Structure 1
Amino acid sequence: MTRYVALLRAVNLGSHKKVSMTDLRELLTGLGYADVRTYLQSGNAVFTAPETRPERVAASVEERLAADLGLMTEVILRTAEELQDVVERNPLKVDDPAKSTVWFLLRPPARDWLTGMDLDRFAPEEMRAGEREIYLRLPNGIGRAKLPVALGRRLKTPATMRNWKTVTSLLSLAE
């Protein structure tokens, strides 16, 4: 049995791609997953599954979201252990958990995705790349940040962002 954290991409933002957390819990339970819990209204779920291959779990959830709820979105999964590593490897100082974020990537970005980009011009915003995560420190707030927009134009893989409070809360739920 594997403990997973599922991050649904771009749900409950504005008026499209709406999913209630009750429906999400029922959907995951219907797939045979156990100890299903959700966090906030932004498509975060934690559950235990017998399947040890995350790509199969993600595909099952995506298929069921489409079939049952008419929702087409990527499901980005991390095991509880992987999420623990994300937290432990954060190379940036977390002054304010609401202004520190992690972009969870579906797959690693191309090796040259940052070539020619001057990250210093976005100061005081900071970014450090992990293997399938991008850590951001946005001291002036997420809403006014320019670095995520610039990075998003270069990133050619689906990703979803969570603030540090959400990341650490999901880890607590997963443990």
Structure 2
Amino acid sequence: MTGYVALLRGINVGPTTRLPMQDLSRLLEGIGGSSVRTHLQSGNALFEHEQADPGKLAEALESAIAAAFDGRKVPCVVREAADLDRIVEGNPFDMAGVDPARFLVVFLSGPVEPDRIADLDPAGFAPDAFRPGEREIYVHCPDGVQKSRLSQALWERRLGLTATARNWNTVTRLAAMAAE
């Protein structure tokens, strides 16, 4: 069995997007997941599964959510839980003085293709800053995440991938949970 993390986008942010974590746990078990643990109410779950393809697990979870919630479309990114260590260790930013609530990792459903973001001028987003990783974008928003133009929508348009963001506190907590 391999450990995975499921990251759902846009749930529990309003009355029409409710998806209780108990339901998420049941849905993950319904697609063959075991040892399910959730973190916060924002669609973060760790689980084990025999499947070796995170993309297929994301598709299966999206389908299960749609079936259980009247066709609701909830984009999901699934990664091997061990990948969280690589993401934490690979952070290209010096975190000295950085508020972890204003530092995001945008998780992507596939690899970053550098040519698709080569024409983005970082100066045009200042004071926000970004650095691409393998299958993630690191984003620092010193004036707050809400004001940033470096949203998951930008990365989805640019890269043609599903994207969902988590702040650094959540990323490091999920990595610690995965190591437990």
1:120-139 correspondence runs (5 A): 120-139=123-142
After superposition, residues 33-48 of structure 1 pair within 5 angstroms as 33-48=33-48
Residue type matched to 2:138 in 1? Y
Q: Give unmatched runs, 5+ long, in structure 1.
A: none
Other-structure match for 1:68: 68
Superposition RMSD in Å: 1.9
Alignment check: 8 A CA contact 2:76 2:162 kept: no
TM-score (norm 2): 0.87
Structure 2 unaligned runs (5+)?
A: none
Q: CA deviation at 1:166?
A: 0.5
Percent identity, please: 43
Structure 1 letter corresponding to 2:36 = V
In structure 2, C-alpha distance between the alignment counterparts of 1:145 and 1:165, rounded to whole Å: 18
Change (3 A) 1:76 1:147: closer
1:116-172 CA-to-partner distances (Å, cap 9, x unmatched) read 322113222110001210001111111122333784453422200100001111111
Aligned residue number for residue 173 of structure 1 = 177
> Does the CA-based 8 Å contact 1:109-1:156 persist in structure 2?
no
Are the equivalent residues in 1 in contact too, given 2:91–2:138 (CA < 8 A)? yes
Q: Give the Cα–Cα distance (whole angstroms) in 1 for the partners of residues 152 and 17 of structure 2.
A: 21
How many pairs align?
175
State the AA in 2 paired with 1:77: V
Instruction: Between 98-107 and 117-126, report the one with greater CA deviation.
Output: 117-126
User: SS in structure 2 opposite 1:140?
Assistant: coil
Scaled by the length of structure 1, the TM-score of the pair is: 0.90
